[in-house]
């Protein structure tokens, strides 16, 4: 009986060690692991009072032009994560984004859920979108955002092998505008805890985006009044690297 107790004790101890080891490995693959590895980012802390506002799922022929009009009004630059099939449908809207100094990026061809795709299917989604963006804008995208915010080690590595950086968004800067929570809620989500180097998530497609438009009418001047300037994600990365940007 005494030997059995000793054996059980050793077994429990071994399970604890194994469990701790597995947890440690799991924790090492959180966002900080990928940021340190240089394959994904959630935000880019910088000294300058700048933030990056981003828009997913477009281009949209109705709402994206309204977004662009507002950005122009406040001398704001943004990053648009484009769905390839929509770029093919509205190439002129994508081209306007580039012509007005914004950044365009890859958001898959059909807004696909990466967790259900093979590596080859992920590569195909990105490649088709890559080609559609080049055809419409004559610009080669280097940033990628996964639809629905899904990521895994497999997907991030597959994307990285294609030369893309996976870009998420600041956890406290998800506007949830796709849920149409009300203009006040969208504005509050952004303004309540703005930090230098934040990446803010909006949508310019996927339903009625009038709440997003009306929220931007309040957010842009409010942050500008606080001294914030609006830059692209790539500009954020350049600032982090110590590259001095031209005057805004």
Q: Which residues are catalytic?
A: 56, 203
For residue 204, what are the contacts with CB-CB under 8 A and spacing of at least 6? 55, 56, 57, 58, 59, 60, 63, 64, 67, 80, 212
Q: What is the DSSP string of 8-56?
A: HHHHHHHHHHHHHHHHHHHHTTSHHHHHHHTSEES----SSSEEEEEEE
Cα-based torsion angle of the residue sequence 229, 99, 73, 88 in order, rounded to the nearest 10 degrees: -100
* Burial class (CB within 10 angstroms; exposed 0-12, middle 13-18, buried 19+) of 38: exposed
The span from the CA of 146 to the CA of 45, in Å, is 22
What phi-psi label fits residue 186: left (phi over 0), alpha (psi between -120 and 50 degrees) or beta?
A: alpha
């Amino acid at each position: 009986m005494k030997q059995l107790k000793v054996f059980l004790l050793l077994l429990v101890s071994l399970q604890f060690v194994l469990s701790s080891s597995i947890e440690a490995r799991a924790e090492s693959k959180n966002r900080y692991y990928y940021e340190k590895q240089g394959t994904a980012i959630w935000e880019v802390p910088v000294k300058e009072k700048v933030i990056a506002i981003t828009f997913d799922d477009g281009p949209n022929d109705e709402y994206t032009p309204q977004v662009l009009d507002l950005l122009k009004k406040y001398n704001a630059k943004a990053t648009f994560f484009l769905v390839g099939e929509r770029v093919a449908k509205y190439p002129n809207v994508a081209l306007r984004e580039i012509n007005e100094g914004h950044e365009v990026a890859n958001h898959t061809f059909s807004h696909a859920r990466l967790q259900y795709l093979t590596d080859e299917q992920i590569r195909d989604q990105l490649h088709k979108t890559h080609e559609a963006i080049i055809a419409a804008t004559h610009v080669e995208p280097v940033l990628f955002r996964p639809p629905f915010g899904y990521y895994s080690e497999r997907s991030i590595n597959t994307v990285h092998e294609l030369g893309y950086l996976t870009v998420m968004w600041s956890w406290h800067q998800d506007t949830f505008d796709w849920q149409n929570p009300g203009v006040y809620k969208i504005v509050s989500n952004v303004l309540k805890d703005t930090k230098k180097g934040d990446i803010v998530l909006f949508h310019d497609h996927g339903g009625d985006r009038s709440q997003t438009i009306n929220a931007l009418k309040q957010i842009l001047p409010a942050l500008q009044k606080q001294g914030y300037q609006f830059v692209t994600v790539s500009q954020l990365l350049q600032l982090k690297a110590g590259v001095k940007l031209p005057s805004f």
